[in-house]
Structure 1
Amino acid sequence: MLSTKGASTPLHSTLLRSRRRVEAVIAGGGPSIVFQPIVRGHDGAVEGYEALSRFPPGGGDTEEWFADAAHCGLGPALDRSAVVNALKESARLPQGRFVAVNLSAATLLDDSTFVDLLIDFGARRPLVIEITEHAALDDEDAVVDVLAELRRGGVSIAVDDVGSAYAGARQLVVLEPEMIKLDAFVVHDMKGNRAKSALAELVLEFARRTDARCVFEGIETDEDLETARMIGADLLQGYRTGRPEPAAGSGEIGCSQPR
């Protein structure tokens, strides 16, 4: 708990404001959730959806909200609130599609009952946990153990933002994910960029050699789509193939078939 005693400092005031904002969102039943389709590379059919959090305006983007929550000690609480909302809202999505949710390793280690909730949901609909750390894991052994428990319960693991995260390569080796998400920075404008294309091909080859599937994120243009399909991407995600939308309860949401 953040103490409010003692002399106020700029850092203390900032943390206090962040804490109050995050607490207000959680108390109000937030964050709200939208779902972005993840489609097959070869035919554009929807295989699943990533649940994405949305926050009140004026507090920065989604990444800033979660960073603020972590800094003021509410990271796991905001993670849990977002995921519980996502799992509830996913009941309105078409059956048979997987749901991917973002979680920090710290949240998984924080509450064993939350892990049980994830396993229970995974028994009813395919569930993918995207590990969001952009730095070295504090306790790799404990993280590996809890991921093994989730896998025994039928939940799949993804490593997010590969190609940009500080510890991405190490996490690929340590976590052995079933899904690898290639960062949008690498995917966007790959055409004509030898470095980006080469990195995408290397990550895709690594995925295939480790029996994982590779999602190319950040597909925003026809050229991005064409290049990703030419390289052989397993799965695609981005505005060109489907925009984030609230769960509609019927039909596919936001799906735009590749030409």
Structure 2
Amino acid sequence: MSDATARLCGRCQDLPPKLEGGGRLFLWCPLGHSFGKLVASLREAGREFQVRPEAQCVVALVAEGDLGRLAESLPGALTEEEVRGTRALFVAGEGEPGLADYPRVGSLRQLATLAQAGWLVDMMKEQRLTSHFQPIVHAQDTRRIFAHEALLRGRERDGALVSPGRMMQTARDADLLFQLDLAARTTAIREAVRHRLNTHLFINFTPTAIYDPAYCLRSTVAAISEAGIPPQAVVFEVIESDQAADPKHLKGIINYYRQAGFRVALDDLGAGYSSLNLIHQLRPDIVKLDMELVRDVHLDPYKAAIVGKMLEIARQLGIQTVAEGIETPEELRWVRTHGVDFVQGYLIARPQGAPAEATPYFTG
């Protein structure tokens, strides 16, 4: 991605500095009871601090290199709800917070997690992210590959892989989801180009990691254009759709992608109570059936009835379907018989560093 493209994404591109250096940690408590527990904890630990009772604020003095240790220790004195409700701000030196500091105020939980998230910040700074690719194949002939889904992976400095679940959970808790989601998208594009991918490419995105699609997504669209990937070959896949706070915001993101010429897939259909409503709100081009519904669908009449109805609805609406998590020949036969368009799962192929050229595991 060029420097000009990178500059398009301020909030998503900037990584926080490591928690180091001396200064003062300002803590605003949600309740007087929380305030008292925090003061007692600091006193018991022999910490130097100031009390500002009129604002229910405690100001802890932080020595050089000690902020991370302090941020990790403080949550132990409070309940989890108090930790999430307590606001925290670190100010270097001896100054008071100014207007420019207020956007940096977050929860004590975020600060404590960020103190332990240096590994993730370093991983993004050093561009130690990569993508593994899992094929999505035609249900009626699994030797024909329709697309590859790009799945985020991290790498330790020694080359060991880091799971996406660990990265995403840390990013959520440390308020790094914007940065990680952008890095995952651009990594998928970079790796697809490096491997000369010649199928459709599914790229995941998290709606809650996008403020304004017209601003936040420009770098992603520009990266695809610079890479020379045809827009019609790219499918943006909505993940965590049931956690999107505002359906109108999600629809705005979808519309932005569509106007740029991309297709849109809705992931995990059937996993969340709101996912069926999202079909008529978002009008996706593709829906992916939740793997928990697909698991043993041939043995469970309840699952069979639900999945069968979903496939029927999709056919009536002209929406293509993908059955995720196919692990047995029986599951494959069932979804194939009931008209699914594409399948994905360990029976076909596991995610791997290089995109598969042919289906090696099952061609029946």
TM bin (shorter chain):
0.7 to 0.9
Where do 1:1-259 residues align within 5 Å?
5-6=25-26, 8=71, 9-10=74-75, 12=109, 14-44=112-142, 45-56=144-155, 61-91=163-193, 92-95=195-198, 97-110=199-212, 112-120=214-222, 121=224, 124-125=229-230, 126-247=233-354, 252=357, 255-259=360-364
* Partner amino acid, structure 2, of 1:201: G
Larger Rg: 2
Distance in 2, matches of 1:26 and 1:253, equals: 32
CA shift at 1:172, angstroms?
Answer: 2.0
CA shift at 1:134, angstroms?
Answer: 4.7
Identify which range, 192-201 or 163-172, moves more after superposition: 163-172
* Partner amino acid, structure 2, of 1:258: T
Distance in 2, matches of 1:137 and 1:204, equals: 24
CA shift at 1:72, angstroms?
Answer: 1.4
Quick one: structure 1 residues 141 and 134, their matched pair in 2 at CA, closer, same or farther if it must change by over 3 Å? Answer: closer
* Partner amino acid, structure 1, of 2:153: R
Secondary structure at the counterpart of residue 225 of structure 1: helix
CA shift at 1:165, angstroms?
Answer: 2.5
CA shift at 1:231, angstroms?
Answer: 1.6
Distance in 2, matches of 1:2 and 1:165, equals: 36
The answer on whether the counterparts of 1:215 and 1:233 sit within 8 Å (CA) in structure 2 is yes
Distance in 1, matches of 2:162 and 2:197, equals: 31
The answer on whether the counterparts of 2:153 and 2:162 sit within 8 Å (CA) in structure 1 is no
CA shift at 1:104, angstroms?
Answer: 0.9
Distance in 1, matches of 2:275 and 2:312, equals: 16
* Partner amino acid, structure 2, of 1:51: A
Distance in 2, matches of 1:93 and 1:257, equals: 24
Distance in 1, matches of 2:174 and 2:212, equals: 16
Quick one: structure 1 residues 16 and 146, their matched pair in 2 at CA, closer, same or farther if it must change by over 3 Å? Answer: closer
The answer on whether the counterparts of 1:49 and 1:98 sit within 8 Å (CA) in structure 2 is yes
Quick one: structure 1 residues 63 and 205, their matched pair in 2 at CA, closer, same or farther if it must change by over 3 Å? Answer: farther
Q: Which string of whole-angstrom CA distances, capped at 9 and with x for unpartnered residues, describes residues 85-139 of structure 1?
A: 11011121442x1101111113343564552344452773311111112534223
Identify which range, 21-30 or 33-42, moves more after superposition: 21-30
Quick one: structure 1 residues 161 and 71, their matched pair in 2 at CA, closer, same or farther if it must change by over 3 Å? Answer: same
CA shift at 1:60, angstroms?
Answer: 7.6
CA shift at 1:181, angstroms?
Answer: 0.6
Q: How high is the TM-score relative to the length of structure 1?
A: 0.87
Secondary structure at the counterpart of residue 298 of structure 2: coil
Secondary structure at the counterpart of residue 217 of structure 2: helix
Q: Which string of whole-angstrom CA distances, capped at 9 and with x for unpartnered residues, describes residues 116-164 of structure 1?
A: 3444527733111111125342232232123112112111111111121
Distance in 2, matches of 1:73 and 1:203, equals: 36
Secondary structure at the counterpart of residue 179 of structure 2: helix
- The count of aligned residue pairs is 256
Quick one: structure 1 residues 18 and 164, their matched pair in 2 at CA, closer, same or farther if it must change by over 3 Å? Answer: farther
Secondary structure at the counterpart of residue 250 of structure 2: helix
Distance in 2, matches of 1:112 and 1:186, equals: 35
Distance in 2, matches of 1:14 and 1:211, equals: 48
> Pairwise CA RMSD of aligned residues?
2.7
**Which ranges in structure 1 are unaligned for 5 or more consecutive residues?**
none
Q: How high is the TM-score relative to the length of structure 2?
A: 0.64
Q: Among the aligned pairs, what percent are the same residue?
A: 25
CA shift at 1:49, angstroms?
Answer: 0.4
CA shift at 1:76, angstroms?
Answer: 1.3
Distance in 1, matches of 2:211 and 2:140, equals: 37
Distance in 2, matches of 1:185 and 1:236, equals: 14
The answer on whether the counterparts of 1:19 and 1:72 sit within 8 Å (CA) in structure 2 is yes
Quick one: structure 1 residues 191 and 253, their matched pair in 2 at CA, closer, same or farther if it must change by over 3 Å? Answer: same
